């Protein structure tokens, strides 16, 4: 390799490395706790819109009752991660005997948590049709099966809902892992 080619290669590698470093530092500096995606250990809470929150207990959830809309809350600081609508989740209790294996893996004692953002155009999925056992998005009538890891049962949505793995600790719902896929409608 000629000296000139070698120096060009080194300059390119250094430029890429510097750009990636700046990008990571800039990203970390701009991350606000309230917009960060749910973190393992976060509690799921119901927010009243004025910064007040109430932790959701597993025992209060009734089988196939309308889903509860919730946000994750950092248990150490008390910060509710409601600064991004992509953190809004639907929580409900299902019959574990009807769940597929993927849904069972990410649920806790029949309780599931899904992103409340439709994968079609980003509207809120805020209804459960009990007779069909499906989540329903009123914007364009997409339907999702909560017993099959949020699989689409009726379009126009083509991608399933993101699931938030949870566990139960002292009867409270706690985030076990990050979303199973990116929540929302962009790929």
Residues 42-71 have pLDDT tens digits of 999 998 777 788 999 999 999 998 889 999
Q: How far is CA 40 from CA 48, 97, 104, in A?
A: 23, 26, 18
H/E element holding 13?
helix 3-30
pLDDT per position as a tens digit, 153-170: 998 989 999 999 999 999
Helix or strand holding residue 14 (H, E)? helix 3-30
CA distances for 6 relative to 16, 17, 19, 20, angstroms: 16, 17, 20, 22
Q: In this predicted structure, what is the pLDDT of residue 186?
A: 67
Based on the number of CB atoms within 10 Å of its own CB, is 144 exposed (0-12), middle (13-18) or buried (19 or more)?
buried
Longest Cα–Cα distance in the chain? 73
pLDDT given at position 92: 95
* Whole-prediction pTM: 0.80
CA distances from 130 to 13, 68, 136 (A): 57, 14, 10
β-bridge partners, 174? 43, 167
Of residues 187 and 144, the one with the higher pLDDT is: 144
Q: Is pLDDT larger for residue 11 or for residue 121? A: 121
Distance of CA 101 to the CA centre of its chain: 19
């Amino acid at each position: 390799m000629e000296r000139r080619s070698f120096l060009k290669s080194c300059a390119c590698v250094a430029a890429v490395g510097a750009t990636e470093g700046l990008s990571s530092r800039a990203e970390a500096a701009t991350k606000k706790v309230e917009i960060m995606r749910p973190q393992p250990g976060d509690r799921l809470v119901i927010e009243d819109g004025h910064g007040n929150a109430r932790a959701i207990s597993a025992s209060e959830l009734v089988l196939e009752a309308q889903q509860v809309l919730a946000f994750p809350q950092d248990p150490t600081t008390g910060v509710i991660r409601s600064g991004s609508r992509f953190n809004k989740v639907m929580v409900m209790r299902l019959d574990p005997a009807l769940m597929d294996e993927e849904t069972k893996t990410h649920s806790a004692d029949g309780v599931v948590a899904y992103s409340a953002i439709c994968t079609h155009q980003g509207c809120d999925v805020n209804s459960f049709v009990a007779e069909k056992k499906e989540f329903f998005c009123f914007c364009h009538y997409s339907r999702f099966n909560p017993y099959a890891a949020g699989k689409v049962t009726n379009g126009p949505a083509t991608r399933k809902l993101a699931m938030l793995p949870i566990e139960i600790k002292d009867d409270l719902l706690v985030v076990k892992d990050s979303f199973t896929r990116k929540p929302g409608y962009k790929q």
